[in-house]
Structure 1
Amino acid sequence: MSRPQLPPGQSQHGGATTRTAPLGYQQELRRGVGGFASFAAGFSFVSILTTVFQLFGLGFGLGGASFFWTWPLVFAGQLLVALCFAELAARWPISGAIYQWSSRLAGTTAGWFIGWIMIIGQILTVAAAAIAAQAVLPGIWSGFQIAGGPGADPSVGSATGARNAVLLGCLLLVVTTAVNILGIRHMAAATSFGVTVEIIGVIALVLVLFFLPERGPQVVLHHTGSAGQSGYAGAFLASSLMAAYVMVGFDSAGELAEETHSPRRTVPRTILRALITSGVGGALLILSGLMAAGSLTDGKLAAGGLSWVLTDRLGGVVGRLLLCCVAVAVFACTLAVQTSGARMMYSMAREGALPFHRHLAKVSARTGTPVTTSIVVGAGAAAVLLVNIHQSAIFTALSSLCIALLYLAYLGVTVPLLVSRLRRRAAGGLPAGVDETGRPLFSLGRWAVAVNAVAVLYQAGMTVNLIWPRAEIYDLTGGTWWLRWSALLFIGLSLAVGAGYFLGRRLHRRIELGHVPHTHTEPPREAAAVAEPA
């Protein structure tokens, strides 16, 4: 039996892999992430408690009770994407995963633009995650409603709620930035704790709501509560945005690959586990919420979401205790998204691909953490929040826009991966190899092309759905044209700014950005990891 072929630049010694390529990244980040912490990074980004609580009202308000079916549809599509990512994570376990994978599959120019879009999308996602604090904290204690006082309207659509969301979000970003700066072990411990609390909270919440039903599971078979007035198809597509907003970020485990023990073996598994666990838990959470809601027709479920269901059905004390679990999940989610964005920025900066790259690429000798990128991502998210002080209608648009950018970046990986598979079909697609234990790398085998092709079709369709200029998503004012078209305008502006920088830099240096030859660069071997103090 022939041995599996190792990835380029790798050799095998007793089941371990050793990098032998003349070029490679110097190990600066410290390996302090184990299997559960790697899972926690992806699960925290998805964070069903954070995002389902934040966006349940949106999905129900648009599609009614049957919006539930958008969840398994989106889950199936994203699972196909995650399977493709798992293959790539096994072969290129490098920080800045989306950027690195795209660079190797489509070339450094395409990779740069995908990385640029991903960074912007991640910064916006950090801001959107931080906003969720407003959906939870005032429900725990009215004193958290600082703007306007405890009696003010806490909904983010109101003036006082919007201002308070900015304030709480910025305070949360200060905390997550501090944790990121302290080091990967502190970040891993915080996200692991947050995920543990979140999983316990989801189980407890689902069980409690299932034991307090107002109606049976057949509730998902009708459209009660839908705001659609001209046919249900459009309302159903709009309500699917809730599930699309939630089930992203499972690739975060790949962002921490250089800080993960045995990444070729660990990361593919944790990517899939994070999405599958989120998919199952989220479906049960949505179903139990619909079954337990006091009413589906009085407008309170659409306005208050699951927070209203908790306080209405469980009373103040128990409801607030469960909301505390949600608050922990919001913290872990914001932390995980910020960490992911910081690693993406660091990965591009160390190749000279960003402005001020010498500063952004620095890693603290004491903590083994890219401090500057953590601060920049946190400050960028805070700046996005501050824009919303006088324009509360932007909150909903922000959620859709940030996820649309992530979907575009994901397409920048799956499309060239499909092209590569078709060109190299006779050779088996991606190169084979072994992980740190000597076992074959994760592979889709003969199903690779079919899975990849359907994943691309799903992503393309959902991207169009996300950026479609719906007034109920992008223009809550009802008459601001630039808000309605803000997704296309912002994406176009982001690409234009990126192109201006990229072409100007290329003209100045007369070489292509990303001067490290990506296609020959392998991740640092684990044996070369910097030892952490005991």
Structure 2
Amino acid sequence: MSTTPTLPAPPPSADADAADLRDFGYEPQLRRGIGSYASFAAGFSFVSILTTVFQLFAFGFSFGGPAFFWTWPLVFLGQFMVALNFAELAARYPLSGCIYQWSRRLANATVGWFAGWVMIIAQIVTVAAAAIALQVVLPRIWSGFQLVGGDPSLTSTSGATNAVILGSILIALTTLVNVVGVRLMAIVNSTGVTLEIIGVAAVIILLLFNIERGPGVVFDTGGTGDGLSYVGPFLVSALMAAYVVVGFDSAGELSEETRDPRHTAPRTILRALAASGIGGGLMLLVALMAAPSLDDGRLATEGLPYVLMSRLGETGGRILLIDVAIAVAVCTLAIQTAGSRMIFSMARDGVLPFSAALSRVGPRTGTPALPAIVVGAGAAAVLLVNIGQAALFTALTSVCIVMLYLAYALVTIPLLVRRIKGWPHGLETTTTERGGKLFGLGRAGVVVNVLAVVYGIGMILNLGWPRQEVYDPSGEHWYLHYFSLIFVGGALLAGTLAYLRYRTRAVAPHTRLPFTTPIPEGETV
């Protein structure tokens, strides 16, 4: 006589996580396979200081001189205020597509929809911006990576074309990893982050043994201005740090795939940002102290790779550049994963085109495959802009950071309004999966929230301000000066048209709540 085999019962924590998700009106579909370190890795790899500091050091130095270093702690502190608010929300709403989910619960479905829409566009462009960084690294490691022509510069025709080829190959690989499943994604991402952390530590330690000057270098403006005349260059150079310190919310994006998310996600959001802030700040400091020269022009054009190759020699420099290339790959993977979860979360609520297909989760992989493909295809299309239009691609990647900050503001501003009305409400008895208290800011919540909102609005204005030196360095296209305003306006207009088409869809079909109905105070649907 044959018997039907039975699957082992899931651990109690898995049952609790599933029941918690059902309380929000969603049936568990995604596979929970992410632990604390993998959750931390998701946020750390999105920020990816080894990728972005290498890519953007020259930008900050060229505008602000060595004193641009001070933009880093200022931006870090501002974003930490944002992260503290996000950590509190992650403990109370452990849902995929967190920016969209948090915003619509704090404000209403309309605000939430636009937060999600803006975030999707920003994440797609950011994938392209991360992938193109391979061109900055790989040809320096081995000239054979320059598959087209001989000039590896991103602004040259051959360099731009090669950047698209290398970036497209990387995006194809990260898409494949995302389609295979979250377990493979977590393994690749965690391994890459471990190597990145080792690389960051190695850069700091090795450059410390090759310093030319003391830490007082950070008070030198490098002739870019003095007193009030330095304010302008300082604000422009702050864009470097603003471009880097984003994406720490990715741990929240993966909440439905994280074990014990109410306990884990808040902590990993803060740890990812703290590790990035400390590591990035130390990298900037030791690079300025170890640079062979501050005034020969090379630091403003070649940036950190110049310092490494000069101080560590060809072999040592190449070894660290290999680690940078790995960091670029896992950064691209993390951003694509976050973007796919945002699309899935909105599609599950039926508020995107082709929602039925985009919300489908493979029963074997437990992963939404089509959203990952959409993000990858969109990013590859953005990459193509770089061929013959390097200035336009640079403008696009600059604007995508404006979009990220705008999406964050669509969370922090409604949250501040709710705090003034007495938020959190109705959640006093809720605990984490481990029986502890939910992460909370207590009486400091309003103050921290105000600082986050003021910082966010200020940085949106700074990022979006029409500047030739940022959006049109060559001075060839006057309209690029206003590209941030044009792009954000166009994105919001397209979003309005899409919203008008899908606003009558249900927020979640099984809850039978109209999409235009705000979620009441304290309700967790």
Q: Offset of 1:72 from its aligned partner?
A: 0.2
Please report the TM-score for the alignment, with normalisation by the length of structure 2. Answer: 0.92
Q: Offset of 1:227 from its aligned partner?
A: 8.6
Q: Using the alignment, how far apart are the partners of 2:224 and 2:153 within structure 1?
A: 20
Counterpart check, 1:158 vs 2:156:
yes
Q: Using the alignment, how far apart are the partners of 1:262 and 1:153 within structure 2?
A: 50
Q: Offset of 1:157 from its aligned partner?
A: 2.3
Aligned residues of 2:253 and 2:338 also touching (Cα < 8 A):
yes
Q: Using the alignment, how far apart are the partners of 2:28 and 2:404 within structure 1?
A: 28
Q: Offset of 1:505 from its aligned partner?
A: 3.3
Q: Using the alignment, how far apart are the partners of 2:142 and 2:219 within structure 1?
A: 36
Q: Using the alignment, how far apart are the partners of 1:23 and 1:429 within structure 2?
A: 14
Alignment deviations for residues 420-461 of structure 1 (CA, whole Å, 9 cap, x no partner):
000116x77975520001111000001000000011000000
Alignment deviations for residues 175-217 of structure 1 (CA, whole Å, 9 cap, x no partner):
1001101100100000100100000000011000011011111
Q: Which residue of 1 aligns with 2:472?
A: 475
Gaps of 5+ in 1: 1-11, 524-534
Identity over aligned pairs, percent: 58
Q: Which residue of 2 aligns with 1:137?
A: 138
Q: Which residue of 1 aligns with 2:492?
A: 495
For 2:52, what is the secondary structure of its paired residue?
A: helix
2:176 equivalent among 175, 178, 182? 178
Q: Using the alignment, how far apart are the partners of 2:493 and 2:486 within structure 1?
A: 10
For 2:409, what is the secondary structure of its paired residue?
A: helix
Q: Using the alignment, how far apart are the partners of 1:183 and 1:242 within structure 2?
A: 33
Q: Which residue of 1 aligns with 2:4?
A: none
For 1:388, what is the secondary structure of its paired residue?
A: coil
Q: Which residue of 1 aligns with 2:451?
A: 454
Q: Using the alignment, how far apart are the partners of 2:310 and 2:78 within structure 1?
A: 34
Q: Which amino acid aligns with 2:493?
A: A
Q: Which residue of 2 aligns with 1:300?
A: 298
Q: Offset of 1:471 from its aligned partner?
A: 0.7
Aligned residues of 2:351 and 2:502 also touching (Cα < 8 A):
no
Q: Which residue of 2 aligns with 1:272?
A: 270
Q: Offset of 1:23 from its aligned partner?
A: 6.1
Counterpart check, 1:51 vs 2:76:
no
Alignment deviations for residues 86-137 of structure 1 (CA, whole Å, 9 cap, x no partner):
0000000000000000010011111001100000000011111111111111
Aligned residues of 1:116 and 1:498 also touching (Cα < 8 A):
yes
Residue 214 and residue 85 in structure 1: after superposition, are their counterparts in 2 closer, same or farther (change >3 A)?
A: same
Q: Using the alignment, how far apart are the partners of 1:119 and 1:136 within structure 2?
A: 27
For 1:477, what is the secondary structure of its paired residue?
A: coil
Q: Which residue of 2 aligns with 1:532?
A: none
The within-5 A match list for 1:169-248 is 169-224=167-222, 226=224, 231-248=229-246
For 2:101, what is the secondary structure of its paired residue?
A: helix
1:255 equivalent among 231, 253, 256? 253
Q: Which residue of 1 aligns with 2:430?
A: 433
Q: Which amino acid aligns with 1:221?
A: F
Q: Which amino acid aligns with 1:40?
A: A
Q: Offset of 1:503 from its aligned partner?
A: 1.2
For 1:323, what is the secondary structure of its paired residue?
A: helix
Q: Which residue of 2 aligns with 1:77?
A: 78
The within-5 A match list for 1:18-417 is 18-19=19-20, 24-148=25-149, 152-224=150-222, 226=224, 231-417=229-415
Q: Offset of 1:225 from its aligned partner?
A: 6.3
Q: Using the alignment, how far apart are the partners of 2:271 and 2:300 within structure 1?
A: 31
Aligned residues of 2:94 and 2:262 also touching (Cα < 8 A):
yes
Residue 22 and residue 83 in structure 1: after superposition, are their counterparts in 2 closer, same or farther (change >3 A)?
A: closer
Residue 414 and residue 230 in structure 1: after superposition, are their counterparts in 2 closer, same or farther (change >3 A)?
A: closer
Q: Which moved more, 1:333-342 or 1:134-143?
A: 134-143
Aligned residues of 1:388 and 1:394 also touching (Cα < 8 A):
yes
For 2:210, what is the secondary structure of its paired residue?
A: coil
Aligned residues of 1:71 and 1:243 also touching (Cα < 8 A):
yes
Alignment deviations for residues 505-529 of structure 1 (CA, whole Å, 9 cap, x no partner):
34xx5x6766654848858xxxxxx
Aligned residues of 1:89 and 1:268 also touching (Cα < 8 A):
yes
Q: Offset of 1:163 from its aligned partner?
A: 1.6
Q: Using the alignment, how far apart are the partners of 2:506 and 2:347 within structure 1?
A: 14
Aligned residues of 2:22 and 2:28 also touching (Cα < 8 A):
no
Q: Which amino acid aligns with 1:462?
A: M
Q: Which amino acid aligns with 2:249?
A: D
Residue 21 and residue 47 in structure 1: after superposition, are their counterparts in 2 closer, same or farther (change >3 A)?
A: closer
Q: Which amino acid aligns with 1:259?
A: E
Q: Which amino acid aligns with 2:199?
A: G
Q: For the aligned residues, what is the CA RMSD?
A: 2.2
For 1:250, what is the secondary structure of its paired residue?
A: coil
Q: Offset of 1:394 from its aligned partner?
A: 2.4
Aligned residues of 2:23 and 2:524 also touching (Cα < 8 A):
no
Q: Using the alignment, how far apart are the partners of 1:372 and 1:50 within structure 2?
A: 27
Residue 241 and residue 20 in structure 1: after superposition, are their counterparts in 2 closer, same or farther (change >3 A)?
A: closer
Q: Which amino acid aligns with 2:322?
A: C
Structure 1 stretches of at least 4 aligned residues deviating more than 3 Å after TM superposition: 15-23, 225-230, 427-432, 511-523
Aligned residues of 1:420 and 1:429 also touching (Cα < 8 A):
no
Q: Using the alignment, how far apart are the partners of 1:22 and 1:209 within structure 2?
A: 52
Q: Which amino acid aligns with 1:103?
A: R
Aligned residues of 1:310 and 1:319 also touching (Cα < 8 A):
yes
Q: Offset of 1:19 from its aligned partner?
A: 3.9
Q: Using the alignment, how far apart are the partners of 1:115 and 1:365 within structure 2?
A: 26
Q: Offset of 1:395 from its aligned partner?
A: 3.6
Q: Which amino acid aligns with 1:260?
A: T
Q: Using the alignment, how far apart are the partners of 1:109 and 1:277 within structure 2?
A: 35
Q: Which amino acid aligns with 1:140?
A: I
Aligned residues of 1:19 and 1:522 also touching (Cα < 8 A):
no
Q: Which moved more, 1:242-251 or 1:473-482?
A: 473-482
Alignment deviations for residues 45-88 of structure 1 (CA, whole Å, 9 cap, x no partner):
00000000000000001110000000000000000000000000
Aligned residues of 1:166 and 1:389 also touching (Cα < 8 A):
yes
Q: Using the alignment, how far apart are the partners of 1:227 and 1:317 within structure 2?
A: 38
Please report the TM-score for the alignment, with normalisation by the length of structure 1. Answer: 0.91
Q: Using the alignment, how far apart are the partners of 2:26 and 2:274 within structure 1?
A: 32
For 2:96, what is the secondary structure of its paired residue?
A: coil
Residue 127 and residue 488 in structure 1: after superposition, are their counterparts in 2 closer, same or farther (change >3 A)?
A: same
